[in-house]
Chain A
């Protein structure tokens, strides 16, 4: 104990440890009525951390070349000791991470927490969601299986519906007229060296804004949201709130445990859940397999593209939807945060959810 005390003192002199603990943990207060859903952002962050670490492990054995990629991934699964564990954590983690980020976004939406002054927090979050999808997309090609190859062929053909620039964009991604080893190198660069720093920057903005502005109180029941002029900034100190540590930290710890439980439940009881048959066959540019389907989170937009007969119209609609999503806080300018007092918004939300589920289910067949 004396040793611990000494270390603490040593650090306090150099980095002001005691002050950091006081201001960041104890005096940083969160509203009394927050709930476990306020820990979902942290889950997204922890999820990313797991991806980063397991990804580093995979890179020890992975070979980013079209002649070796498939074999090297098989070797990770069968030869490298515990390679299967880290690959499973990475693959299942990527799916869970996306589910967590989507859930985080949905709860933020339902609680109206994107409203003034948190528009930029929403925008940085929305960009991170798009970035997360790009992580998934680029990672999908790396094992160089039949599924990776043909799913990527389909996705990189999508921009060609655009006149003039479409061909250029498609060739930009593919590095040629069709998916090849050059595409693999590009996607690898994207996945491990271009996207991560972009994510870190957005994450820093996201968290800095949250810390500066303070967490929102849940708009249901007792709410301490104050009325103040639109132009004025006052940090939400929540004087009547609870200290961040241990009140919210407890909830975060609980959610992290749940996240790991779900992950290891998959690894133990459904290890092939995210590996359909076409993932066991190496990529063959001369044969398209029978069923080629994108990952579940792309099924809805994919089905939408299939349903709209005009390719250009379909893709333009997707882009419009993405724009509406990113800039949503500027479109919904009503002050009322409680969705139970917003009948129209509630119906918009419910129909969006139903539409999404139907499209997803339809796309899966």
Chain B
């Protein structure tokens, strides 16, 4: 009887261990490797964006927008709405960035004005070097 109990415990132990040892590989297998694109700079010519104008770029694989805000100069913002990930559009007349999905609105600094977005649009560092705009 004692031998049987011992064998049972042994079987349970090794069975559990062999099953459990699959857990870590599985978690790793399903989660994708984190994105490879790291801060690749985007360079634009200054005359591409007149005052009040804008240009959509791809930064780190994600859409972003560079706006030449009248009176405030150039700014680069992520286009990905912080609510549920739709892409905001630049409304030139109202000076706003508007999300088509649930009507989230942001000002041209990326701050939330109205709607469900929980935080402001991330700013992307931007620097003007002579005739060039360097983003990233």
Chain B interface residue number, banded: 20 to 34
- A-side contacts of B56, CB under 8 Å: 286
- Please state if A292 and B86 are interface contacts (CB–CB under 8 Å): yes
Interface centre among A154, A182, A291, A309 (most CB of B within 10 A): A154
Does A117 sit at the interface, judged by CB under 8 A? no
Does A287 sit at the interface, judged by CB under 8 A? yes
Q: A154-B101, A309-B116 are in contact. Are A287 and B87 (CB under 8 A)?
A: yes
Q: Which A residues from 195 to 237 make CB contacts under 8 A with B?
A: none
- Please state if A288 and B86 are interface contacts (CB–CB under 8 Å): yes
With the chains together, A158 CA to B116 CA distance in Å?
Answer: 13
- A-side contacts of B118, CB under 8 Å: 311
**How many A residues, CB 8 Å from partner?**
26
Q: A154-B101, A178-B85, A311-B118 are in contact. Are A172 and B30 (CB under 8 A)?
A: yes
- Please state if A171 and B32 are interface contacts (CB–CB under 8 Å): yes
Does B55 sit at the interface, judged by CB under 8 A? no
Q: How far is the CB of A185 from chain B (nearest CB, A)?
A: 11
Q: A286-B87, A292-B86, A311-B118 are in contact. Are A150 and B31 (CB under 8 A)?
A: no
With the chains together, A309 CA to B115 CA distance in Å?
Answer: 9
- A-side contacts of B87, CB under 8 Å: 286-288
Does A277 sit at the interface, judged by CB under 8 A? no
- B-side contacts of A176, CB under 8 Å: 32, 35
With the chains together, A153 CA to B86 CA distance in Å?
Answer: 7
Contact residue among A156, A157, A171, A288 (Cβ-Cβ distance under 8 Å from B31) = A171
Contact residue among A178, A285, A288 (Cβ-Cβ distance under 8 Å from B100) = A288
Q: How far is the CB of B59 from chain A (nearest CB, A)?
A: 12
Q: How far is the CB of B99 from chain A (nearest CB, A)?
A: 8
- A-side contacts of B89, CB under 8 Å: 288
- A-side contacts of B101, CB under 8 Å: 150, 154, 288, 292
Does B102 sit at the interface, judged by CB under 8 A? yes
- Please state if A289 and B31 are interface contacts (CB–CB under 8 Å): no
With the chains together, A258 CA to B104 CA distance in Å?
Answer: 44
Interface centre among B32, B83, B84, B116 (most CB of A within 10 A): B84
Does B63 sit at the interface, judged by CB under 8 A? yes
- Please state if B102 and A150 are interface contacts (CB–CB under 8 Å): no
Chain A interface (Cβ < 8 Å from any Cβ of B)? 150, 153-154, 156-158, 168, 171-172, 174-178, 182, 285-292, 306, 309, 311
